[in-house]
Structure 1
Amino acid sequence: MFSNLGLFKGLACPDHGSCSRSHCLFSHSPNIPQPRALILPVPSLSLEKGKGLEKPKSSVVPAKRPAIASPTKGSPGSAEPPRKTQKVGPIQRPLAVSSAIQRAESGAPILRVNAAQSQVPIPVRQTMLQTLYNHFLVLYDHILPAYPTLASEHALKQEDEVYKKSIKLTYRNAVIQCVATLKRRPLPTSINHPSVGTEGEIAARAEAQNALTSLQLSGDLLEALIHPVSMLQDWGYFVDIPPGEGGSKPSMEGKIAKCDRCVQYFIVKRMEEADNCIYHWGKPQVTRVGGEKTRIYTCCSRPVADSEGCSHGPHVFYESAPDDLHSRHAFSRLLPSNVDNTMHDVVALDCEMVYTTGGMRVARVSLVDGSGKEIFDQLVRLDDDVHVIDYNTRFSGITPENHATAVLTLASIRTTLDSLINSNTILIGHALDNDLKTLRIIHHRCIDTALLFPHRAGPPYRRSLKDLVREKLGRMIQTGDASEGHSSIEDASATLDLVRWYILNKQKSAVQSGFGMT
């Protein structure tokens, strides 16, 4: 036993004289007063006149609050089962992505997201968005004047891409890595440059382009896409050589013709002597102004009802009748096929034209083969009796300076083409009938992207090559200004890629659905 420390010697034993403990901890001395009995107050009820029982005036605060009984399963008045017995699915937190673009005073876009749905704090994301925006400004320095909102749009898209692929702990580092990638990009000089876009957009374009370029177009692969001769005829193709002597009237100089621009009759004169014409170079299109449909010109947005033009230039004329075209320069067919392996089985063709005293004549011819490689690109010198009225540089890209370097006439160009293509070659183009007419070629094995991708309004309407390339291939062509015009090599390559896209998408889907039906 341990020794007693005597801590309770100052307290009287509660058992007094009846204590039977041999070694009691308490004191048994008579001089120490006995402990008092603990008396608790008992509440009493009082009656007041005119009232029943009243709550006690002095109450004791309970030690604990009474627990509120939760309704049990099947108990009356319970609106829903107990929380523990409810079946709930996994909690799915929606992604907080940006919506409309709103600009801060600094010009950077502002995130419009729900903070409760964002795993990363909004101030952090806004700071990272500002960083991305600043680097897109530097990257797009040369093209921002033409596309002022491009940096804001791509900064928002890029931040959204990084956020969706990251978690809270990796978000900052992912943005930093993206900024480092932006710094390594070459500065774009046009909207169609490979450096334009977010990381995801560039990767998607590269993947799609690799799929296109890896597809080698051959005659066997394209045989099913060749348009029937009857279809070509319905779309304005010449399928037979017009009657009469070809090339008997090469020029209309000094004669009366109807202006293709202002629809007025004029005397045909070469460029140095031509009379002035006021016209609209754009096409009329239907738009809504004040809730009403109105036709306006794409060049100046003026109503078609306004007779005054927006541009000045010489009077020009355009001929479409087979006999007239044949009389300016004779039509002929490509040479028949032979065993010569140097002939190409597939080529994409595009031409650029200028207005002359002999109507619209070819000024540049470009061909690419089935792999997309350029095989021919030459300027065409006009015949001796034919003179330029207007180079139409806005669309043709032909200028007096570069056209002056042309050496080969159309007859020489045709001779060169006979060494590259023949009557068995599949020709690909957009509105190919115009190119064949200006080359004075009769050919039946054609694939026209204007017919592969028809206009929703039906014939004779055709979708533009620029719109098709932007929609199907995700890139821009014909972006040059009035001094640059189009590039026939670029257009020929674009038509080739459209046919590739058609084979990889539409034709493949049609074959798969056919197998599913069987």
Structure 2
Amino acid sequence: MFRSLGLFASALCPDPSCHRPKCMFNHGESSRKRKETVEEKEPVTGHETVKSLGINGGRATSTSSQAQPKPGSSKAVPTNAANSLGHHAPVLASKKPRVEADETKGKGTPAAAPEVIVNPMRPPSIPTINLKLSPQPYADRQKGLQTLFQQYTKLYRPLLTEHPDLAHTSALRQEAETSSTCPNIKTYKSAIHHAAVSVSRRAAPDSPTHPSVGTLKESRAAYEKLEKDLAGRLTKEKVAQYLLPLDQFKIWAYPDPRNQDLLNGGDEPDCQGIHQTCSRCKKPFVVSSKYLQSRSGECQFHYGKIQPERIEGKRKWIYTCCRRERGEAGCEEGIHVFTDGDDDAKLAKRKAFKTVQQVWEERGQAGTEAKSKKVADVVGMDCEMIYTTGGSSLARVTVVDQSGVILLDEKVRQPVPILDINTRFSGLHPGELDDAVMDLEAVRSAVCVFVGPESVIVGHGLENDLRALRLLHDKIIDTATIFPHDKGPPYRRALRDLVKEKLGYFIQERTADLGHSSAEDAKATLEVLKWKVRDDAA
């Protein structure tokens, strides 16, 4: 059918070696001959050598219609042809094979014809404005770009030596930002003028991170952040109203810094062989550090809190860790552990408390707080605890300044055997404390390098941290007290809930495998306090 109608008579046969007697395609040039011709031609290299070429309407033609160059002539290609080659080099190199000139004319050895090297690589293009979907003409946009570039060059003059592309980058971004927000040329010209005037009025930057660097939006956002940081900057005067009064230390279960009995003790650091009640499953046991691996599973407990919920019209108490009801078997297994809780007298027997003033006096720093550059006015602190044969013990302490810079992050060497590293809450894993250098006494002294008698310590549930550190201090800000629970003390709102509500981001998202981060928690408490300072000042 196709053969008689001739529908494919004008199309070349796709088979290079077609031998069909009645093929429907055109065989004006035999496939075998085409194949041989392709093989005979030399491959085109990156640099095309042209010995004699004429230009006719943008196509390469034979030299038979052109004047032949004389042997030894220095000009084998006319000037206009050379220019055309330079402009159309990529096209010619990709579509036409090399065209050979006629062989030697006359007697003797012919002089080699001069070669014209055509480089198909394009020269580096100058950055230009992208006109895709642009509502403004190119000439107007280029003029606006030049205006912005001049102003940015003047603004960045002190920085151009080390950052030569800064003005170029800012001008391009500002022009693109302006063009994208202007529907017509009139508003575009007005916006460019406004942007140029705004740039010319900025304060000269002294670094690439200065708020004056960048487009209008970037600079505005940087200045707003700077104002926000200045408004939330924590000073003793600003945070004085949030200090926990001494008469409320007992209400919020803080150790009393005025209790002199807590300053003596340390005669019972270990409780091995003594009967205790497990703080997890509430069963009695004898404290021992022997056969810990084989004893795993002796304690079944719930690590989550129990909260009331209404299910199917009935009020039930549900564990947050596994959604089981009160009274059901625990969802976790481990070994029996204990803690002395908020019994400061027992804690003092394990290790005596000290005030910040005492530590300073022992280190010979009394009266030098105003001269010390390391002492901060306001610090955030968080501690991580583990279970040992001496109860709940300090394993890690982190101190940060109000900018979030970590001043101290130290692990604590344990003087007694460890029962449970408490990874879910401490963020520590077995073996991490093996290389710890400082004991509790040394870590407490290191904390007081940055915390003076007049420094303000900020934390969330800070009473546990102070007890673990055996440190007494009267200038305390607890974010759990400035954002109290609806039911009042001793209930406290979780830090992660406060951060989510006030700051809009999440912390403590992977406590199941990574545990808490003391640095993250310490920074979060300071950010929550800054939010409170800004909110009250507004």
Give the match for residue 477 of structure 1: 507
Matching of residue 436 in structure 1 with residue 466 in structure 2: yes
Q: 1:377 to 1:325 in 2, by over 3 A?
A: same
Give the match for residue 260 of structure 1: 279
Mapped to 2, the partners of 1:483 and 1:206 lie a distance apart of 37
Mapped to 1, the partners of 2:227 and 2:459 lie a distance apart of 21
Structure 2 counterparts to residues 455-470 of structure 1, below 5 A: 455-470=485-500
Give the match for residue 476 of structure 2: 446
Which residue of 340, 355, 371 maps to 1:340? 371
Q: Contact between 1:344 and 1:420, CA under 8 Å: does it hold in 2?
A: yes
Structure 2 counterparts to residues 231-246 of structure 1, below 5 A: 231-239=248-256, 240-243=259-262, 245-246=264-265
Give the match for residue 234 of structure 2: 217
One-letter amino acid of the structure 2 residue matched with residue 360 of structure 1: S
Matching of residue 356 in structure 1 with residue 377 in structure 2: no
Give the match for residue 279 of structure 1: 301
Q: 1:340 to 1:244 in 2, by over 3 A?
A: closer
Q: 1:310 to 1:303 in 2, by over 3 A?
A: same
Q: Count residues in correspondence.
A: 308
Deviations along 1:433-453, one digit per CA (max 9) or x if unpaired, are 110010001110000000000
Please report how far the alpha carbon of residue 417 of structure 1 lies from its aligned counterpart in structure 2 after TM superposition: 1.8
Mapped to 2, the partners of 1:206 and 1:462 lie a distance apart of 35
SS of residue paired to 2:477: strand
For normalisation by structure 2, the TM-score amounts to 0.54
SS of residue paired to 1:347: strand
Which residue of 495, 506, 522 maps to 1:492? 522
Give the match for residue 226 of structure 1: 243
Q: Contact between 1:241 and 1:442, CA under 8 Å: does it hold in 2?
A: no
Which structure's CA Rg is the greater one? 1
Q: Among all aligned residue pairs of Structure 1 and Structure 2, give the percentage whose two residues are the same amino acid.
A: 38
Matching of residue 413 in structure 1 with residue 443 in structure 2: yes
Please report how far the alpha carbon of residue 242 of structure 1 lies from its aligned counterpart in structure 2 after TM superposition: 3.0
For normalisation by structure 1, the TM-score amounts to 0.56
One-letter amino acid of the structure 2 residue matched with residue 344 of structure 1: A
Structure 2 counterparts to residues 16-35 of structure 1, below 5 A: none
Please report how far the alpha carbon of residue 317 of structure 1 lies from its aligned counterpart in structure 2 after TM superposition: 0.4
Q: 1:212 to 1:272 in 2, by over 3 A?
A: farther
Please report how far the alpha carbon of residue 482 of structure 1 lies from its aligned counterpart in structure 2 after TM superposition: 2.1
Which residue of 339, 353, 362 maps to 1:318? 339
One-letter amino acid of the structure 2 residue matched with residue 284 of structure 1: I
SS of residue paired to 1:408: coil
Mapped to 2, the partners of 1:390 and 1:353 lie a distance apart of 10
Matching of residue 369 in structure 1 with residue 405 in structure 2: no
Mapped to 1, the partners of 2:225 and 2:335 lie a distance apart of 42
Q: Contact between 2:273 and 2:287, CA under 8 Å: does it hold in 1?
A: yes
Mapped to 2, the partners of 1:346 and 1:282 lie a distance apart of 32
Give the match for residue 113 of structure 1: none
Which residue of 252, 261, 266 maps to 1:247? 266
Q: Contact between 1:212 and 1:500, CA under 8 Å: does it hold in 2?
A: no
Q: Contact between 1:241 and 1:332, CA under 8 Å: does it hold in 2?
A: no
RMSD of aligned alpha carbons = 2.7
Mapped to 2, the partners of 1:497 and 1:352 lie a distance apart of 20
One-letter amino acid of the structure 1 residue matched with residue 278 of structure 2: C
Please report how far the alpha carbon of residue 322 of structure 1 lies from its aligned counterpart in structure 2 after TM superposition: 1.1
SS of residue paired to 2:276: strand
Unaligned stretches of 5+ residues in structure 2:
1-180, 185-220, 358-365
Structure 2 counterparts to residues 45-84 of structure 1, below 5 A: none
One-letter amino acid of the structure 2 residue matched with residue 464 of structure 1: A
Q: 1:241 to 1:397 in 2, by over 3 A?
A: farther
Mapped to 2, the partners of 1:265 and 1:445 lie a distance apart of 38
